[in-house]
Amino acid sequence: MLPSLTRGRLLAATVAAATAAVVVSNGPVAFAAATGHGHAGHAKSVIFINGDGMSAAHREAARLYLDGLNGQLTMDKLPVSGQLTTSPHDPKATVTDSAAAATAWSTGVKTYNGAIGVDAKGRSLPILGQQAKAAGKSTGLVTTSQVTDASPAAFFAHTTDRARQDDIALQYITKSKPDVILGGGEDWWLPAGTPGAWPDKPAEDTTEESKGTKGNLVKKAQAAGYQYVSDAKGLAHARRGKLLGLFGNEEMFQQQAEGEGDVYRPAVDLATMTRKALDTLSTNKKGFFLMVEEEGIDEFAHHNNGTRVLQAMASLEKAVKVARDYVAAHPDTLLVITGDHDCGGLTVEDAVADDETGTAPSTEDGPFPVKGSDHTFVMDWTTTEHTGADVPVTAVGPLAEQFTGKHPNTHVHDVLARILTRKH
């Protein structure tokens, strides 16, 4: 492990470019066009952003590191805020996983951990991605995880087991048909022994290799009218229309403990993918639904890796800035930012030498510098798993005021459905 001060300086250099893009005005002008909390009749589109594993402590650590003692994250500048509870409906668990949480968002029904778009008895439920498409809207998903991972899948697929990612991919191109699919996970789109743009068994993780069982789904997607791209240059030159971009074998990073092969360096950053998706989806006069996810927060929190969590939070902030700027220019769009659950049981503390009470691996991480000051803080982890802590939700645009107060996570569906199921 690197010495803490060296680690802090290295992290600062890594995310400096990311944070530069997040400096925004606190004044009223920036939100003037977007803060009219109108009713559903004035809303056409939804941008829903998930910081996977992100609760209040992750946001506070990022605020201190990226913006300083008196600063504010872009996601926290939105004019409406509230809280969401996250418990699942699972006979064996009190704390949710991403699949049950995202299914609650997408369907308004609580279910068991591992379920995608199905209720506690395994019965398929109406999902927002398909409902938006039926209402004539364009749809899309952007993630730094596999595009077939639990959170995006719950909006566009049905399965009793989130692990069936090749079946989820097949459902995307044959049933729910999102117009834009951008993220990682090429391994699930190709059969074993058929490496694609991303070679099997890469040096950084030799366990990654093509593993699909549904045939060559990249070719099937292309036959269905999707452009396929696999790198930043291809994405930049992709024309508007149905778009599939897979930028890694699995996740777009290596989620390991600190100093053990951990890497956060996506081939295409989340903000760039978000910008491309918005450029494509916004051509539909009937509106669109875009789901955006930063997965690195959760994956690195599982390893109690504060350095990489802060990098992932910086990535999310850049994407939020892109979305907020879009909404400011398009006041008929609702922007919602939240997390599916807490991961790591994180607290933010002063760097006090004799205050460590945890045991490995869940101990204090840091110290990290507070931007613009001589202060530092530590990230103190209590678990490598999810917790049942509430998650903050912030919003701007039509119906944003519906997120004021404390609600179950199914409330997300109730609000979004008022926009996405309405035909214009």
The pLDDT, as a whole number, for residue 258 is: 85
Residue 264 has pLDDT above 90, yes or no: yes
Written as six digits, the tokens of 61 are 């650590």
Alpha-carbon span 162 to 341, nearest angstrom = 17
- Among residues 98, 106, 145, 230, the one annotated as catalytic is 98
The pLDDT, as a whole number, for residue 17 is: 41
The pLDDT, as a whole number, for residue 42 is: 81
Tell whether 388 is covered by a domain: yes
Residues in binding site: 52, 149, 151, 293, 298, 302, 340-341, 386
The pLDDT, as a whole number, for residue 162 is: 98
Confidence band, pLDDT 50/70/90 cuts, at residue 167: very high
| 310-359 residue pLDDT tens | 999 999 999 999 999 999 999 999 999 999 999 999 999 998 877 666 66
CATH number at residue 173: 3.40.720.10
Percent of the chain with pLDDT over 90: 84
The dihedral through the CA atoms of 277, 398, 321, 59 has a sign that is negative
Tell whether 96 is covered by a domain: yes
Residue 72 has pLDDT above 80, yes or no: yes
Tell whether 30 is covered by a domain: no
Tell whether 380 is covered by a domain: yes
Residues in binding site for Mg(2+): 52, 149, 151, 293
Written as six digits, the tokens of 412 are 């997300």
Tell whether 62 is covered by a domain: yes
Residues in binding site for Zn(2+): 52, 298, 302, 340-341, 386
Alpha-carbon span 361 to 382, nearest angstrom = 9
Is residue 3 reached through a cis peptide bond, with omega within 30 degrees of 0 on the bond before it? no
Is 98 among the catalytic positions? Answer: yes
Percent of the chain with pLDDT over 70: 88
Nearest CA-CA partner of 188 in 122, 246, 261, 110: 246
Tell whether 98 is covered by a domain: yes
Question: Is the pLDDT higher at 1 or at 84?
Answer: 84
Report the mean per-residue pLDDT for the chain. 91
Question: Is the pLDDT higher at 363 or at 406?
Answer: 406
Instruction: Identify the domain containing residue 402 by its residue range.
Output: 36-420
The dihedral through the CA atoms of 262, 264, 267, 273 has a sign that is positive
| 91-111 residue pLDDT tens | 999 999 999 999 999 999 999
Tell whether 186 is covered by a domain: yes
Tell whether 134 is covered by a domain: yes
Is residue 88 reached through a cis peptide bond, with omega within 30 degrees of 0 on the bond before it? no
Number of domains making up the chain: 1
